[in-house]
């Protein structure tokens, strides 16, 4: 990526912008290919979700994620550049597309600011390949036209545009200038389809997709036969609401109820939005330091402090849950070591408490070698035993057959990457597909020897209830 020593804030005029874009078009003509031009500005404090609501269009791609507890949020909308693919090499193909894009990128402004410079948003489905009828590709990555991000007290706005050798400079300059003016003095207003006053909680009728207890029973038979030691099976419920559903309004309910999770919304531009509040980080890389985690084994929250502590103690003593958790850690270590990564983690798991459930949790950290890319780590780790099974290949091969419905992005990998080698991805669980008055909600549980169909069903019921309560508000 070429970073030019220009300050858009100090040279903020339509004429200066037009001259700069003229230089970019000349560079595109010399190289015989379009340039991705990225302009970053530090702006007054903005709420990225409110900005996204104001420009939301159901037929335009968008990506949003935040962790309220850590004061970070990032939103991107519309497409400057995009790539989609499928197959076993999809992570590598997206990495190569990203690297080729950055070789032909010109960036100016506050590129080194938190979330400065062009960002690539990506969603990878659970399986390497998806059916033609599914709403999301197996891998979809894009650079948005407009990006707004918050990190602590710093808000950074980014405009990305593709400048071809024959680009209409006047049209491009006008579009960027309007965005510059808007972000410099953003005025919040009622977003289309996101009403301020609601007549009451949304009411749903529910239809189960499949027979979960029977699926668990069949999986236990395969475990007993030695086909695999663990498999994660999901349930899906199809909901029909008494009114049209707006994905970003529903996301507001999730972000408020689950402040310690990754609240997210992702749309491909065709069909539904995929929203959720995921408790599980898959990988984060910042300044060469890699962070991931094992999150497996769960129990409900108690009605009071004593019951809560008692349940947590029972979880820590549970042989089934400890075994499931240990398998996840062992799998993480085995998959990172071939990349030259030496994971570090505490000897015993801790309890991580969420609004509705308690999990066994082990943080994992490591130095990321210069030879390894975020997407190399993602390709090695996805899917973890926490959402797939163990051995991975044997378990994943049976999931579609046992569940009886396509997972799509459920339990897939969603996140962002920047031009500096950093990025963050989480697992698409505690999630729903939303379109019109319809939603499909997902929840899953790990099945191992000793699992009981009724108990696993009850665990997914607990997860469904938390989602439905949030979506109904």
**Domains of the chain from N-terminus onward:** 2-184 (no CATH), 204-472 (3.60.120.10)
Which pLDDT score is estimated for 297?
84
Give the confidence band of 71 by pLDDT, cuts at 50, 70, 90. Answer: confident
Question: Given a cut of 90, is residue 113 above it in pLDDT?
Answer: no
In the block, which residue shows the tokens 């899953």? 444
Select the highest-mean-pLDDT range: 98-102, 202-206, 297-301. 98-102
What is the average per-residue pLDDT within 306-331?
90
What is the average per-residue pLDDT within 116-140?
95
Q: How far apart are CA 412 and CA 383, in angstroms?
A: 7
Which pLDDT score is estimated for 6?
65
Question: Given a cut of 90, is residue 249 above it in pLDDT?
Answer: no
Contact 202, 247 (CB under 8 A): no
- Rounded to the nearest integer, the mean pLDDT of the chain is 89
Q: Give the Cβ contact number of residue 367 at 10 Å.
A: 13
Q: Give the Cβ contact number of residue 199 at 10 Å.
A: 8
Flag the least confident range among 186-200, 279-293, 405-419: 186-200
Which pLDDT score is estimated for 94?
98
Q: How far is CA 235 from the centre of its chain?
A: 20
- Per cent of the chain over pLDDT 90 is 60
Which pLDDT score is estimated for 426?
96
What is the average per-residue pLDDT within 142-160?
92
- 309-to-40, 245, 294, 300 alpha-carbon distances in Å: 47, 38, 21, 11
Give the confidence band of 442 by pLDDT, cuts at 50, 70, 90. Answer: very high
Question: Which residue in 280, 324, 327, 456 is the catalytic one?
Answer: 280
Please write the tens of the pLDDT for every residue from 392-406: 999 999 999 999 999
Which pLDDT score is estimated for 9?
63
Which pLDDT score is estimated for 147?
93
Catalytic residue list contains 280: yes
Give the confidence band of 50 by pLDDT, cuts at 50, 70, 90. Answer: confident
Flag the least confident range among 86-100, 188-202, 211-225, 340-354: 188-202
Please write the tens of the pLDDT for every residue from 163-220: 999 999 888 888 887 776 666 666 665 554 555 555 667 888 889 988 999 999 999 9
Question: Given a cut of 60, is residue 321 above it in pLDDT?
Answer: yes
What is the average per-residue pLDDT within 233-251?
90
Contact 291, 283 (CB under 8 A): yes
Q: How far apart are CA 157 and CA 151, in angstroms?
A: 12
∠118-123-127 over CA atoms, to 5°? 150
Question: Given a cut of 90, is residue 313 above it in pLDDT?
Answer: yes
Which pLDDT score is estimated for 419?
94
Which pLDDT score is estimated for 355?
78
Contact 134, 268 (CB under 8 A): no
* Secondary structure string (H, E, C) spanning the chain: CEECCCCCCCCCCHHHHHHHHHHHHHHHHHHCCCEEEEEEEEECCCCHHHHHHHHCCCCCCEEEEEEHHHCEEEEEECCCEEEEECCCCHHHHHHHHHHHHHHCEEEEECCCCCCCCCEEEEEECCCCCCCCCCCCCCEEEEECCEEEEEECCEEEEEEEEEECCCCCHHHHHHHHHHHHHHHHCCCCCCCCCCCCCCCCCCCEEEEEECCHHHHHHHHHHHHHCCCCCEEEEEEEEEEEECCCCCHHHHHHHHHHHCCCCEEEEEECCCCCEEEEEECCEEEEEECCEEEEEEEEEEEECCCCHHHHHHHHHHHHHCHHHHHHHHHHHHHHHHHHHHHCCCCECCCCCEEEECCCEEEEEEEEEEECCCCCCHHHHHHHHCCCCCCCEECHHHHHHHHHHHHCCCCCCCCCEEEEEECCCCEEEEECCCEEEEECCEEEEEEEEEEECCCCHHHHHHHHHHHHHHHHHHHHC
Contact 465, 196 (CB under 8 A): no
Question: Which residue in 35, 53, 66, 230 is the catalytic one?
Answer: 230
Q: List Cβ neighbours of 241 (8 Å cut-off, separation of 6 or more).
A: 202, 203, 204, 437, 438, 439
Question: Given a cut of 60, is residue 234 above it in pLDDT?
Answer: yes
* Model pTM score: 0.91
Which pLDDT score is estimated for 12?
67
Question: Given a cut of 90, is residue 305 above it in pLDDT?
Answer: yes
How many CA atoms lie within 13 Å of 105's alpha carbon, on the beta-carbon side? Answer: 27
């Amino acid at each position: 990526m070429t970073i030019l020593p220009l300050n858009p804030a100090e040279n903020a005029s339509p004429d200066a912008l037009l001259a700069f874009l003229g230089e970019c078009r000349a560079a595109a003509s010399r190289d015989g290919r379009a340039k991705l031009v990225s302009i970053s500005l530090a702006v007054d404090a903005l709420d990225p979700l409110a900005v996204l609501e104001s420009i939301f269009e159901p037929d335009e791609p968008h990506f949003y994620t935040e962790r309220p507890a850590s004061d970070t949020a990032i939103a991107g909308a519309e497409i400057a550049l995009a790539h989609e693919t499928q197959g076993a090499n999809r992570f590598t193909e997206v990495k190569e597309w990203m690297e080729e894009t950055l070789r032909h990128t010109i960036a100016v402004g506050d590129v080194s600011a938190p979330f400065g410079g062009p960002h690539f948003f990506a969603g990878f489905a659970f399986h390497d390949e998806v059916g033609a009828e599914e709403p999301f590709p197996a891998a979809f990555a894009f650079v948005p036209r407009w990006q707004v991000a918050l990190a602590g007290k710093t808000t950074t706005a980014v405009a990305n545009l593709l400048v071809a050798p024959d680009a209409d400079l006047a049209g491009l300059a006008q579009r960027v200038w309007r965005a510059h003016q808007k972000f410099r003095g953003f005025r919040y207003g009622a977003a289309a389809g996101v009403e301020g006053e609601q007549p009451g909680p949304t009411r749903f009728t529910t239809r189960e997709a499949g027979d979960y207890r029977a699926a668990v029973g069949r999986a236990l038979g395969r475990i007993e036969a030695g086909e695999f030691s663990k498999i994660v099976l999901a349930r899906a419920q199809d909901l029909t609401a008494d009114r049209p559903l707006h994905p970003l309004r529903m996301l507001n309910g999730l972000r408020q109820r689950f402040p310690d999770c990754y609240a997210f919304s992702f749309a491909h531009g065709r069909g539904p939005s995929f929203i959720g509040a995921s408790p599980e980080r898959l990988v984060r890389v910042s300044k060469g330091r890699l962070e991931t985690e094992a999150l497996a084994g769960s129990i409900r929250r108690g009605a009071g402090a004593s019951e809560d502590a008692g349940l947590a103690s029972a979880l820590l003593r549970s042989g089934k849950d400890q075994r499931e958790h240990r398998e996840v850690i062992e799998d993480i270590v085995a998959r990172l070591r071939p990349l030259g990564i030496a994971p570090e983690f505490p000897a015993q798991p801790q309890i991580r408490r969420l609004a509705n459930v308690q999990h066994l949790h082990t943080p994992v950290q490591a130095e990321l070698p210069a030879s390894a890319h975020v997407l190399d780590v993602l390709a090695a780790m996805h899917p973890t035993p926490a959402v797939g099974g163990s051995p991975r290949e044997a378990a994943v091969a049976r999931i579609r057959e046992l569940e009886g419905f396509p997972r799509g992005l459920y339990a897939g990998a969603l996140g962002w990457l920047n031009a500096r080698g950093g990025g963050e991805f989480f697992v698409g669980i505690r999630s729903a597909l939303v379109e019109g008055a319809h939603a499909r909600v997902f929840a899953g549980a790990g099945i191992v020897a000793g699992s009981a169909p009724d108990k696993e069903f009850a665990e997914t019921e607990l997860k469904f209830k938390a989602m439905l309560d949030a979506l109904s508000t």
